[in-house]
């Protein structure tokens, strides 16, 4: 292959101002950093000179990239005074034809507020329909599980109990202890003013066992395990594993959804008990430091301060919250489209909706059992 002449652009002012284009105007020659910077600066300088003559007779070879650079410097139209070799005439003819083509942009639909509200309502009904179908399939799978327990996915169930329950003990313990210390510290400041130090057991026991314990455990599990469930199902959708399971005749609900729901229904009450214990330990530590109340006296007064029904209300909340978190996580995981953007958006929506539904369910519990346990 003969040695290619580097692309150049020079200006002369003998009879009239002329830009002489020479050398090999090819993409690999123009892509060199020094050459590209120099040529770009010269083309920018020549772009504002309307009476400039252009001489392209000394160009040895030219490709579309080289022609495109000159065409942009010309303002996307052929100059009045330009000399081009016949071999390169076709490149500029095609650029001239393309510059006259106007690509129509699709008109953006203008949505009124009523149309936006209608679209949101349709999306809500679509979610409710899909969630109802998922819930119905879960009931059928539970019936099959009761009829044929030996064929149940016990390995998947135990694995999910471990991942959603056992691996969450650390974070729930840490948050529980900190919440207990903070709540005990704030309560002790007020009780000491009125001489009601003993009532710190009532405040901590009722608030933690009945409300804060289940809520803290549910929020942590929704952010940790709920997002993991949605991401797992979403990745299976992206990698087409769900489609492969359907082709092989493996039911999604029985093998994927039911074990996760049962696992959270079993693990959540245990996490609630664990969170309650850790929060009460944190409260006892703070009460002893601020009020001088011994842990033995705290434990002795706790059964009298908190009726037994509050424990059962807290455990009932744990079971309900676990089922809701698992169903919402599976619902959003199955709705993820086979792309990474949908995976991130679905995981975020799953956590937000799960926490919101847990708070709503806790409010319903408070209304139903408003006269119980006091």
**Using 50, 70 and 90 to split pLDDT, how confident is the model at 2?**
very low
Name which residue leads in pLDDT, 155 or 73: 155
* CATH number of this structure's domain 8-99, picked from the four choices 3.30.750.24, 3.40.50.970, 3.30.1280.10, 3.40.50.1980: 3.30.750.24
Instruction: Give me the mean pLDDT over the 216-221 stretch.
Output: 93
Domain ranges of the chain: 8-99, 137-368
Residue 255 has pLDDT above 90, yes or no: no
Residue 1 has pLDDT above 60, yes or no: no
pLDDT tens digits, 15-61: 778 888 888 888 877 777 566 778 888 888 777 777 788 888 888 88
pLDDT tens digits, 315-366: 999 999 999 999 999 999 888 887 778 888 889 999 999 999 999 999 999 8
Pairing of strands 8-12, 53-62: unpaired
* Angle ∠(230,231,232) on CA atoms, nearest 5: 90
pLDDT tens digits, 89-102: 888 888 777 766 66
Strands (E), the chain: 8-12, 18-25, 53-62, 82-83
pTM: 0.67
Instruction: Give me the mean pLDDT over the 131-152 stretch.
Output: 89
Among left, alpha and beta (phi > 0; psi -120 to 50; other), residue 23 is left
Quick check: 81 and 54 in contact, CB under 8 A? yes
Quick check: 6 and 28 in contact, CB under 8 A? no
Burial group, residue 314, by CB count within 10 angstroms (0-12, 13-18, 19+): buried
Give the Cα separation of 207 and 201 in Å (integer). Answer: 10
């Amino acid at each position: 292959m003969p040695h290619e002449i580097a692309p150049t652009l020079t200006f002369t002012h003998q009879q009239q101002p002329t830009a002489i284009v020479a050398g090999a105007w090819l993409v690999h020659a123009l892509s060199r950093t020094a050459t590209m910077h120099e040529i770009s600066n010269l083309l920018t300088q020549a772009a504002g000179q309307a009476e400039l003559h252009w001489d392209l007779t000394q160009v040895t070879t030219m490709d579309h990239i080289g022609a495109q650079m000159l065409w942009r410097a010309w303002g996307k139209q052929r100059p009045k005074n330009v000399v081009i070799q016949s071999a390169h005439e076709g490149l500029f003819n095609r650029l001239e034809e393309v510059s006259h083509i106007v690509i129509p942009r699709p008109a953006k639909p203008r949505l009124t507020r009523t149309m936006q509200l209608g679209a949101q309502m349709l999306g809500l009904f679509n979610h409710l329909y899909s969630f109802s179908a998922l819930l119905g399939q879960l009931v059928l799978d539970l019936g099959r599980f009761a009829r044929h327990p030996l064929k149940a996915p016990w390995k998947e169930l135990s694995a999910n109990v471990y991942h959603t329950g056992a691996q969450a003990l650390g974070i729930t313990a840490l948050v529980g202890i900190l919440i207990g210390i903070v709540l005990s510290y704030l309560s002790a400041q007020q009780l000491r003013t009125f001489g009601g130090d003993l009532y710190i057991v009532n405040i901590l026991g009722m608030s933690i066992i009945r409300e804060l314990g289940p809520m803290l455990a549910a929020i942590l599990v929704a952010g940790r395990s709920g997002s993991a469930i949605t991401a797992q199902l979403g990745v299976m959708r992206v990698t087409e594993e769900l489609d492969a399971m359907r082709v092989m005749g493996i039911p999604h609900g029985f093998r994927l959804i039911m074990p996760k729901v049962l696992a959270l229904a079993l693990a959540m009450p245990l996490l609630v008990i664990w969170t309650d214990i850790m929060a009460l330990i944190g409260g006892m530590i703070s009460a002893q430091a601020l009020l001088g109340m011994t842990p033995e006296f705290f434990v002795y007064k706790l059964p009298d301060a908190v009726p037994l029904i509050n424990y059962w209300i807290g455990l009932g909340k744990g079971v309900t919250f676990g089922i809701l978190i698992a169903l919402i996580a599976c619902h959003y995981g199955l709705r993820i489209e086979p792309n990474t953007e949908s995976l991130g958006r679905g995981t975020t929506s799953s956590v937000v909706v799960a926490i919101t539904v847990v708070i709503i369910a806790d409010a319903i519990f408070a209304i139903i059992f408003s006269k119980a346990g006091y």
